[in-house]
Amino acid sequence: MVLREKFVVCCVMKNKVFTLEIEKSAQGGDGFAHLPDGRACFVQGALPSEKVIAKITESKRDYTKAETLEVLVPHSLRVAPRCPYYGQCGGCSLQHADFSLQKSMAEESIRDTFRRFAREELPENFVIHSGNSWEYRNRIRVQKNRENVWGFRAKKSHQILPVAPTCPILVPKLREFLKSPEALAIQAQELQVFENGNGEISYYYNGMSNQEFSEKSESVVEIAGKKIHSDASVFFQSNLGLLPILVKRVLEEAGEGSLLVDLFSGVGFFATILEDSFEKIIAVERDSGCLRHAMKNLKNSAEFITTPAEDWLQENMVSKNATLIVDPPRTGLPQSAVEVLLKSSLLRLIYVSCNPVTLARDLKLFKSGGFSLDSLEGFAFYPQTPHLEMLAVLSRK
């Protein structure tokens, strides 16, 4: 009966409208407030310190979600969104906040995340590196609508909005290409496109011939004196303007040594950047397409392993003489991988993360095994969104 009553209360709450005082920003960019009944409420489109009228869109026993209907008292750094599709497109969600406010919101959220998940207080001088807040994105995935225009999916919908040719976060060369005769002539529903930082465009779609793949998909990015081979079908960082800062910090933290192990190595990006500083390189990547490029990017002395990182770790103990760099997906390191590393004699770990929550979760596990956090910094690779990349350096004696 109690559960039934709670279910009825939740159903009644949905679509109800409240006037809310936004207390702070939450992970994901929403505003955080409390309802009159004390439950937490995550308010889409609201900024810290604002007073808003919001409608409940989802109601659970312990928390609710809402969307902003009207801003009664706006934040001083609230701005007009630059894109006419803002609010409809499923991409950017923070164009209503000045970029300086976006960074401070991210910092507040990161501090709270590490406090709750890792029991770690971040230093006062915690840094979030950033570059251009507009026209920064070099890599995208687009779909074509019925009017033969490339675009992005609408929020919570399969509708394709014709936003891509005018999207303000794309580098100009990408926008130009997406409305070019070449792009419009491509007979595909979905297209992956990459601009290599020098104005050269590569693209990939399912079903393209081997010859077209060779001519149109392959790309080369020059960074830190290295030429990194890739193609538009595999993952590569989407913000090439900010990437050199991350590379510089990784080079500084990695130093020199006898062995570098690069888990989730992709096309061997970090291994290639660091190979001159280490006597031996082991690159571990499950995607054979990525490793094909890694073999071009790295010297012949490197060892390439085509297997999931967690499987390789089960069979290969990482020694204390190794420097380990990991760049896992948003889900973070598999628990089995963390368990093996804690049992190893590894002394130093460089962790590049695209999800602060899973990084904080993994940090808590590493701390239980004697590791401490030497440094942590953020990288705003995706302005106008709540996404933040992190660089963490861990060590133990």
- CA nearest neighbour of 97 among 73, 78, 75, 71: 78
Residues 212 and 352 in one domain: no
The last residue of a domain, from among 231, 263, 286: 231
Share of the chain above pLDDT 70, in %: 97
Quote the pLDDT of residue 10: 52
Q: pLDDT category, 1, cuts 50, 70, 90?
A: very low
Quote the pLDDT of residue 301: 75
When mean pLDDT is compared over 3-7, 74-78, 307-311, the highest value belongs to 74-78
Quote the pLDDT of residue 3: 44
pLDDT at 299 over 90: no
- The per-residue pLDDT for range 229-246, each reduced to its tens digit, is 999 999 999 999 999 999
Q: What is the 3-state secondary structure (H, E, C) of the chain?
A: CHHHHHHHHHHHHCCCEEEEECCEECCCCCEEEECCCCCEEEEECCCCCCEEEEEEEEECCCEEEEEEEEEEECCCCECCCCCCCCCCECCCCCCCECHHHHHHHHHHHHHHHHHHHCCCCCCCCCCEECCCCCCCECEEEEEECCCCCEEEEECCCCCEECCHHHCCCECHHHHHHHCCHHHHCCCCCEEEEEECCCCCEEEECCCCCHHHHHHHHEEEEEECCEEEEEECCCCCCCCCCCHHHHHHHHHHHHCCEEEEEEECCCCCHHHHHHHHHEEEEEEECCCHHHHHHHHHHCCCCCEEECCCHHHHHHHCCCCCCEEEEECCCCCCCCHHHHHHHHHCCCCEEEEEECCHHHHHHHHHHHHHCCCEEEEEEEECCCCCCCCCEEEEEEECC
pLDDT at 347 over 90: yes
Over residues 47-76, mean pLDDT: 96
- The Cα-based distances of 340 to 45, 167, 262, 304, 334 in angstroms read 42, 44, 16, 20, 10
Residues 50 and 159 in one domain: no
The last residue of a domain, from among 231, 254, 274: 231
Number of domains in the chain: 3
Residues 124 and 246 in one domain: yes
pLDDT at 257 over 50: yes
Quote the pLDDT of residue 224: 94
- Supply the CATH number for residue 65's domain: 2.40.50.140
How many CA atoms are closer than 13 Å to the CA of 379, on its beta-carbon side?
Answer: 23
Return the residue matching tokens 């995706």.
Answer: 382
Residues 66 and 151 in one domain: no
Quote the pLDDT of residue 13: 73
Quote the pLDDT of residue 164: 86
Residues 327 and 260 in one domain: yes
- The per-residue pLDDT for range 131-167, each reduced to its tens digit, is 999 999 999 999 999 999 999 999 888 899 999 889 9
- What residue type is assigned to position 8 of the chain? V
Q: Has residue 175 been placed in a domain?
A: yes
End-to-end CA distance of the chain: 55
Mean per-residue pLDDT over the chain, rounded: 93
Neighbours of 342 (CB within 10 A): 15
pTM for the predicted model, two decimal places: 0.93
Asked if residue 110 lies in contact with residue 122, where contact means CB atoms within 8 angstroms, the answer is yes
pLDDT at 353 over 90: yes
Residues 110 and 67 in one domain: no
Residues 28 and 146 in one domain: no
Quote the pLDDT of residue 9: 46
Residues 192 and 335 in one domain: no
pLDDT at 352 over 80: yes
The last residue of a domain, from among 231, 264, 295: 231
Residues 6 and 111 in one domain: no
Q: Has residue 82 been placed in a domain?
A: no
Q: Has residue 81 been placed in a domain?
A: no
Residues 120 and 171 in one domain: no
Tell me which residue range forms the domain holding 22: 2-76
Q: Has residue 87 been placed in a domain?
A: no
- The per-residue pLDDT for range 314-332, each reduced to its tens digit, is 888 888 889 999 999 999 9
Quote the pLDDT of residue 317: 80
pLDDT at 291 over 80: yes
